[in-house]
Amino acid sequence: MMMKSVGRPLTPDMIQALDWVPAIIWVSDADGRCLLVNRAWREFSGRKLEDSIGDGWLSAMHPEDAAAWPEQIGQAIASRQPFSVECRLRRRDGRYRWLHKTGQPYFDEKSGALLGFIGCCMDVTSHKQALDGLRQASEKHRSVLSNLKGAVVVIEDYLRTEEPGRNHVRDVRLTPRQREILHLIARGYATREIAVQLHVSVKTIESHRAQLMHRLDIHDVASLTRYAIRTGMVPPD
């Protein structure tokens, strides 16, 4: 099969040689339209060559990335410079994979006119998943440290108090329901867990919590916990 770019033919020998390259190789014309994809692409995508040339290969690209492609290739054509992008392409099993796509311009030897781009695609899905895992672990680590700092503040405050909770003081500013909710908050229960225990909605718990914070002039959960320990509402663990 002979396919012709602007000013230079892609010979059968060139096509056959590219088929032996294990990486995905593609060739475009000066307008960024695909002229050739090698065997690695056809095996990856499950598409025939005739279904991939022109703009056919774009149907394998994730819709969000396909929408960004015209601007990306347009900038490369205007600048006549190499480019690289990360995009999602649908594999033959229907799953999207992240590929690092690079393109190198090639020119007419005599006129210097841009003939098109030759590029390759490398699957970087595992690399991106590993990075995402590291980010999630880092976020979890920060969350644990934040909770630990709050616990340290509570413990230090308890240790500085001579006899915390010696007498259980009933604060008349709070309703019985608010004291019950404060008790559960201080014991570390989340809003949804408190709502389940008390058989009320999450919104009701949030409303009671806001009211008791207002009445006690306390503005965070750590301070609520310290207050509950001081008044003997919960024992220091």
Asked, for residue 37, whether it belongs to a domain, the answer is yes
Asked, for residue 24, whether it belongs to a domain, the answer is yes
Say which residues have a Cβ less than 8 Å from residue 69's Cβ, sequence separation at least 6: 58, 61, 87
CATH number, domain of 42, equals: 3.30.450.20
162 plus 66 within the same structural domain: no
24 plus 79 within the same structural domain: yes
111 plus 16 within the same structural domain: yes
111 plus 66 within the same structural domain: yes
Beta strands 114-123 and 24-29 are: antiparallel
181 plus 219 within the same structural domain: yes
Neighbours of 212 (CB within 10 A): 22
Asked, for residue 158, whether it belongs to a domain, the answer is yes
Looking at the structure of the chain, the number of domains it has is 2
What's the pLDDT score for residue 175?
81
Helix crossing, 125-160 with 221-230: angle to 10°?
A: 30
107 plus 49 within the same structural domain: yes
Asked, for residue 72, whether it belongs to a domain, the answer is yes
64 plus 162 within the same structural domain: no
Asked, for residue 141, whether it belongs to a domain, the answer is no
Asked, for residue 66, whether it belongs to a domain, the answer is yes
CATH number, domain of 190, equals: 3.40.50.2300
Decide which of 91, 125, 159 is a domain's last residue. Answer: 125
What's the pLDDT score for residue 71?
92
**Backbone Cα Rg of the chain:** 32
Q: Is the pTM of this model over 0.85?
A: no
Decide which of 125, 159, 177 is a domain's last residue. Answer: 125
216 plus 170 within the same structural domain: yes
What's the pLDDT score for residue 186?
81
165 plus 74 within the same structural domain: no
Domain that holds residue 171: 147-230
Contact 205, 191 (CB under 8 A): yes
Beta bridge partners of 83: 103
61 plus 155 within the same structural domain: no
Asked, for residue 137, whether it belongs to a domain, the answer is no
Nearest alpha-carbon partner for 27 in 104, 97, 98: 104
Cα–Cα dist 84/18, whole Å: 20
79 plus 37 within the same structural domain: yes
183 plus 115 within the same structural domain: no
Asked, for residue 195, whether it belongs to a domain, the answer is yes
Neighbours of 188 (CB within 10 A): 13
Q: Which two tokens stand for residue 4?
A: 């012709």
- Give per-10-residue mean pLDDT for the chain (237 aa): 41 69 88 90 88 88 92 93 92 92 90 91 86 70 60 57 47 77 83 87 87 84 79 64
Angstrom distances, CA of residue 222 to CA of 5, 154, 187, 191, 200: 69, 7, 11, 14, 24
